[in-house]
Amino acid sequence: MNKIKKVGWGFEICNMHCRHCYNSSTERGCKYTFEQLKEIADKICPQIEDISFGTGEFICNPNALDLARYIKDTYPHVKMAVTSNGSTIVQMEPEEVKRLFSDIDISLDYPDEKKHCDFRRHEKSWEWAIGALRVLDELQVPHSIVTCITSETKNEDLEGLLGIARQYRANLRFNWFRKVGRGNEDLRITARRAWEIIEFLSDKVVFECIDPIFAGVLGVEAIPCPAGRISCRIHASMDISCYPFLKGAEWSGGNILDKGIDLDAIYTSAIFQKLRARKVAACQDCEFEKTCKGGCITRAVLHNGSMSEVDDYCPVAASLDINRLKRIKIRLQPTSELVHNGYLCTTICRPIV
């Protein structure tokens, strides 16, 4: 039985040139017509609960807004979310933002205007992000600041982002950097640094959800890596893979525009079955295996070479002091239904006011 309920959909058309972009998006024309996008919506929407639009900038696709309107009117049970650098939100009519989207993520990587603009390589990136946060706060649409955690992210940056989140009554979501696309090896963080960040945040936030690799050690409940189990990703080619960071023939469960291909066929495809059967030999005798299940598949593949390897934030593999990590106390209160919660391995928190 097909269990995919959460779909990410990326058009890979963007108006920025960010240093860390996993897709290396560039502004270019839309390859598919509205009728083709509508055909895909009609295939997937009867079976799913929500869609997260990301990868590239939503408003850059001339058909994206009409697609969202169609889904909202035809399949009102499907919640839609969008991840934006801010430009989509400041260009849309505010009431339509509120009507179409159940929640919205705004990308903000630094609390400093110059650093953020330099990282995003766009002079308006700060103006758009802050403008969007202001609009969403006024509309009372649930929203999060999404920041890419890299080797350059300092504790003072996190403090600053928490301050902005408080100011605009936003959640804070961490998109832990993966070495793929435009992002270079030097942006990758170590397991030790990842755990330092969790410890740093532990008394400053309430967690909405947390990556399974952290959950096991911290003794809290989390969804194991959902890739291929309850979630999937539609790429600009309309191939469907388990994750936004993994694409190409090796990872494709099929092209959703092809005749006879639907979510049932994707779910039962060879690669999706292989993902669900993932076994990590190094984890078999680990006390945390039942919770983390080897951690995030993408970090295992992109950083350690295979999904049979362990997530490289694994504290056991990194020889960290497990007893010390166990003493970290966090508060986990999943009180809302944010679309990204359960869509992929991610960490979402709410700053303590």
Q: Can you give the pLDDT at residue 141? A: 96
Phi, psi of 172 (to 5 degrees): -130, 120
Identify the pLDDT of residue 29: 54
Q: What three-state secondary structure class fits 141?
A: coil
Mean pLDDT of 96-109: 97
pLDDT at 30 over 90: no
Retrieve residue 200's tokens. 């740093």
In whole angstroms, give the CA distance from residue 346 to residue 146. 10
Among 82-96, 175-189, 298-312, the range scoring the smallest mean pLDDT is 175-189
Distance in angstroms (rounded) separating the CA atoms of residues 271 and 251: 6
What pLDDT was estimated at residue 91?
97
pLDDT at 28: 57
- Provide the angle, in degrees to the nearest 10, between the axes of the packed helices 34-44 and 64-74: 40
- Which of 20-29, 49-58, 224-233, 309-318 shows the lowest mean pLDDT across its residues? 20-29
Q: What's the pLDDT band for 349 if we cut at 50, 70, 90?
A: very high
Mean residue pLDDT of the chain comes to 92
- Architecture of 6-277+331-351 per CATH? Alpha-Beta Barrel (3.20)
Question: Has residue 45 got a pLDDT over 90?
Answer: yes
Comparing C-alpha atoms, which of 96, 127, 95 is closest to residue 15?
A: 127
Domain ranges of the chain: 6-277+331-351
The predicted structure's pLDDT at residue 55: 85
Q: 7 with 48: CB under 8 angstroms?
A: yes
For residue 24, the model assigns a pLDDT of 62
**Residues for the chain: how many in total?**
353
Please report, for residues 15, 281, 305, 333, the alpha-carbon distance to residue 116 in angstroms, rounded to integers and kept in the order given.
15, 41, 31, 30
The pLDDT value recorded for residue 335 is: 75
- Pair 20, 8: CB distance under 8 Å: no
Is the model's pLDDT at 20 over the cut of 60? yes
pTM above 0.75, yes or no: yes
More confident residue, 39 or 353: 39
- % pLDDT > 90, the chain: 77
pLDDT of residue 180: 83
Q: 25: pLDDT confidence band, cut at 50, 70 and 90?
A: low
Mean pLDDT of 74-78: 98
Whole-angstrom distance, CA of residue 351 vs CA of residue 1? 39
What is the average pLDDT across 293-307? 92
Structure tokens at 137: 């706060």
Q: What is the mean pLDDT of residues 52-76?
A: 95
Q: Give 200-255 pLDDT, tens digit per residue.
A: 999 999 999 999 999 989 988 877 888 899 999 999 899 999 998 898 899 999 99
Instruction: Determine the average pLDDT of the residues in 30-42.
Output: 92
| pLDDT above 70 coverage of the chain, percent | 98
183 band by pLDDT with thresholds 50, 70 and 90: confident
Q: Is the pLDDT of residue 191 over 80?
A: yes
> What pLDDT is stored for residue 238 in this prediction?
93
Is the pLDDT reported for residue 27 higher than 70? no
Region 301-320: mean pLDDT is 94
pLDDT of residue 23: 73
Tell which wins on pLDDT, 37 or 290: 37
What's the pLDDT band for 103 if we cut at 50, 70, 90? very high
Across 17-21, 103-107, 144-148, 238-242, least confident range: 17-21
